[in-house]
Structure 1
Amino acid sequence: MTDRRAPRALRPGRGAFASALTLALLLVGPAQADEATGTIDRSSARPANTLQSLAELDGKAPSRRQLNIQHWTTAEGARVLFVEARELPMFDLRVTFAAGSSQDGPVPGLATLTNAMLNEGVAGKDVTAIAQGFEGLGADFGNGSYRDMAVASLRSLSAADKREPALKLFADVVGKPSFPQDALKRIKNQLLAGFEYDKQNPGKLAGQTLFAKLYGSHPYAHPSDGTAQSIPGITQAQLRAFHAKAYAAGNAVIALVGDLSRSDAEAIAAQVSAALPKGPALASPAEPTEPKPGATHIDFPSKQTHLMLAELGITRQDPDWPALSLGNQILGGGAFGTRLMSEVREKRGLTYGVYSTFTPMQVRGPFMINLQTRAELSEGTLQLVRDILADYLKNGPTQLELDDAKRELAGSFPLSNASNASIVGQLGAIGFYNLPLTWLEDFMQQSQALTVEQVKAALNKHLAADKLVIVTAGPSVPQKPLPPPTDTPSEQPLGVPEH
């Protein structure tokens, strides 16, 4: 999970934050994204109406944009990463802070509420005036808070008459928010309404319980949005104190991509950095302790049962990440054609979709398998998923599966730097997780060089079939045996998953 899904009322504006997850989705293996497609069968005949321009690309290695990443540190201690891109007369700015919910301390939701309040008011402007200010300049502001990080982003035209006022407003919003009391009350009410909605969502309840079981007393354990008990008592003074500490320049990474010269980028970074509170980087959370394996059931009236299986995974800097990414892509990281989708949906019709994912974070993030199935088949489906994982760890991927995964990665990888929005998200992650500037190319080269034995060894180093923390949410009903595997399941999966 990346790390938080914002409440509907607090979602960033106009898709500015779609790029926030680009790095996590594309570079864990492109099949991590929900919209990923299966492996292309190039042995089939090409349709007669295929465009010749596309046909000429068949079999060729896809080209990809080479990034010249420049970097420096501002006078206040913010790290800056910059890629010049002159194709369009605009630029993307993304500031990433170690200010996610892992920094909440004893007040769950403090990070989320602080970030949500950034654009609610500055001196002389309320939330409406701020929104109109960005819109009038053709600029787009976005913000979001997750477990590891909080972010603020700006997309603007690069012409000085538009860029300079947009940057001035952005610097005020991020560096000098006023946290108006009326807006604080309104956003608290939105969060509290979201908590009430969550009570009717078995998947949400299962996810919250899973993280609590997986992380115990660790800061990753509590919901990023806080709780119905913690949110009402959060004060303006607490927001200001958290902002002064967590939104400090020394705790920030500034990523810039677009129609800017190096001197332009230096001036922008200096302006943003100077507007932030002064202070050092915050320490990362401590490493979590190994959880106790076991299963927990949440009784919930529903036709389906949510099944979630997890164990601790890796940090973002773990050298096994390329091997685990490809290994997960084969297990359940994509759509059709993965081990889990083939056995659970395609051969038995037990689910609409089943997915697995590693989420590497500042400290060990989760490895998770997630699906929904008919309630009366839930116990058998859970055992089937466990058996598939155990068999995969025991035997590893086949050479054909690995070759297909490599080819899929090679074909999708150019999308990871096809747009300025995707690049700025990657720069932010590279800076935030202190990765090498060559990390994108390194990841690709290391992935393509992997052997079956290396992937199997990495999976078994970090996962064990007997260490799973399992949470299920659904009704307690008599169970039925699973249908046998077949190419034409007698019962088709439900057409629409519950949310």
Structure 2
Amino acid sequence: MIRALFAAALAVTFALPARAEVEIQEVTTPGGLTAWLVEEHSIPFTALEIWFRGGTSLDRPGKRGAINLMTATLEEGAGDLDALAFTRAKESLAASFSYDVGDDTLTVSAKFLTENRDQAVDLLRDSLINPRFDQDALDRVRGQVVSIIRSDAKNPNDIASNAFNNMAFGDHPYGSDANGTVESVTALTRDDILQAHQDTLTRDRIYIGAVGDITPEELSTLLDNLLGDLPETGPALPEAVEPALTGGVTVIPFDTPQSVALFGHAGVERDSEDFFPAYLLNTILGGGGFESRLMTEVREKRGLTYGTYSFIVDKDHADLWMGQVQSANNRVAEAIEVIQDIWADVSENGVTEEELEAAKKYMTGAYPLRFDGNGPIANIITGMQIEDMPLDYPATRNDKVNAVTLEQVNDVAKRYLRPEDLRFVVVGQPEGLTSTN
């Protein structure tokens, strides 16, 4: 019955009307934690997001993959419960916990019914404060991670991504696979995992968002109980790094009928006044689906690919403007040439007022659709905090988009799109392409 109620709550919650204007309250707990809350009492269900800044970039020297392995093992038993007992306890409460980690952030997502809130939070607390890290669980998850690493080594997309990141960032944590290598992961000990846990889940870098059937007072008590015993501080974050990319092509031979190409150069900071013009520019260039310049010229007019895209990558310590394309080995050289020409043309000549208005319509129309349930809203408001956005951002964001002028967009195109710095990493057997520089 509890599971059925939880499923019904999810169904109703995700059917709520799309909305971009939400009433966010800032909650400060007696223990000094700060959270953002959107109260929604129509359904007895709460979504909670807890993010820790740092992520896999905090791996210690020689311990690459430790934080990834630690994160994957958090739900493999906690407190008095081994992995199986923990799973059964979570299911009996119809609660949902998930743990993930990226270059800059470790995220914990939880959903629970109001009637089971206290028990669910106690269980979640054990997974964060008292994870068991039993050796058999560590070895089982380690085996899964090693399998992923070996599989990625045969995947052209992962090969391209790892090679590109290494070229861009070298010895910086961004320059290596967060999963680690087979050798580094195999060598990790339980003590390494305990250290990774101590380094990563710390109170000084917590960002919290909650949406649902909970009051500010209830949330305050919940958070101090849930997170109050975490370590106060962790190690220093990595230094900022400038992508060390130069223009040209890097070919990585791989036996496949289609070549995969990843390309990019340095990008734009999220807190820059140029970000919204850049975001609109990218929508026109390659981020707006079938209407983008890249898709029109590379796919529609020439049939060189099923899809090609560009995207802005905003990391905590570096920024990139990137894209990707996949094409037959005998056509990928032409696809790359067309992409280079488009990049140069937009940089030099900019875009049109018609393209800008279409991009604004696309961006402003799509934004409210993200607010389609407690979980997505909790995710959004937590991301807003980590990006240092104001409480009223959801209500003002589209106004900021609409205020961007054609002059601003074309100025950003000239300053940020640098075709001479565009580096292509091509994995496959491309005809007519050789590595340069």
| CA distance 1:179–1:206, shift in 2 (3 Å) | same
**Residue number among 78, 82, 87 corresponding to 2:37 in the alignment:** 82
**Residue number among 115, 131, 142 corresponding to 2:98 in the alignment:** 142
Task: Name the structure 2 match of 1:326.
Answer: 280
Q: Confirm whether residue 464 of structure 1 aligns to residue 418 of structure 2.
A: yes
Deviation at 1:199, TM superposition (A): 2.3
Q: Confirm whether residue 403 of structure 1 aligns to residue 351 of structure 2.
A: no
CA contact (8 A) 1:284 1:362 kept: no
Cα distance in 2 between the residues matched to 1:213 and 1:177 = 37
Q: Report SS of the residue matched to 1:217.
A: coil
Cα distance in 2 between the residues matched to 1:384 and 1:65 = 38
Q: Report SS of the residue matched to 1:328.
A: helix
Task: Name the structure 2 match of 1:36.
Answer: none
**Residue number among 59, 65, 72 corresponding to 1:104 in the alignment:** 59
Q: Report SS of the residue matched to 2:132.
A: coil
Matched AA of 2:226: V
Please show how residues 38-437 of structure 1 align to structure 2 within 5 Å: 64-106=19-61, 107-159=63-115, 162-275=116-229, 277-280=230-233, 283-293=236-246, 294-437=248-391
Deviation per residue, 1:196-225 (Å, 9 max, x gap): 212221111011000111112222111121
Matched AA of 1:399: E
CA contact (8 A) 1:285 1:362 kept: no
Matched AA of 2:378: V
Cα distance in 1 between the residues matched to 2:243 and 2:127 = 40
| CA distance 1:63–1:108, shift in 2 (3 Å) | closer
Please list every run of 5 or more consecutive structure 2 residues that lacks an aligned counterpart in the other structure: 1-6, 8-16
CA contact (8 A) 1:74 1:270 kept: yes
Q: Report SS of the residue matched to 2:210.
A: strand
Deviation at 1:410, TM superposition (A): 2.0
Task: Name the structure 1 match of 2:4.
Answer: none
Matched AA of 2:76: E
Task: Name the structure 2 match of 1:56.
Answer: none
Q: Report SS of the residue matched to 1:356.
A: strand
Deviation at 1:459, TM superposition (A): 3.1
Task: Name the structure 1 match of 2:3.
Answer: none
Deviation at 1:454, TM superposition (A): 0.6
Matched AA of 1:358: I
CA contact (8 A) 1:152 1:174 kept: no
Matched AA of 2:110: L
**Structure 1 stretch displaced more, 359-368 or 94-103:** 359-368
CA contact (8 A) 1:85 1:257 kept: yes
Deviation at 1:281, TM superposition (A): 5.9
Deviation per residue, 1:163-222 (Å, 9 max, x gap): 110010011111211111111111111111112212221111011000111112222111
Matched AA of 1:98: R
Aligned residues: 416
Cα distance in 2 between the residues matched to 1:217 and 1:199 = 20
More helix by share: 2
Q: Report SS of the residue matched to 1:86.
A: coil
Q: Report SS of the residue matched to 2:181.
A: coil
Deviation at 1:158, TM superposition (A): 1.5
Deviation at 1:464, TM superposition (A): 1.0
Please list every run of 5 or more consecutive structure 1 residues that lacks an aligned counterpart in the other structure: 1-13, 15-61, 480-499
Q: Report SS of the residue matched to 1:68.
A: coil
Deviation at 1:227, TM superposition (A): 1.4
CA contact (8 A) 2:21 2:395 kept: no
Matched AA of 1:289: E
Q: Report SS of the residue matched to 1:169.
A: helix
Cα distance in 1 between the residues matched to 2:60 and 2:384 = 26
Matched AA of 1:105: R
Matched AA of 1:445: D
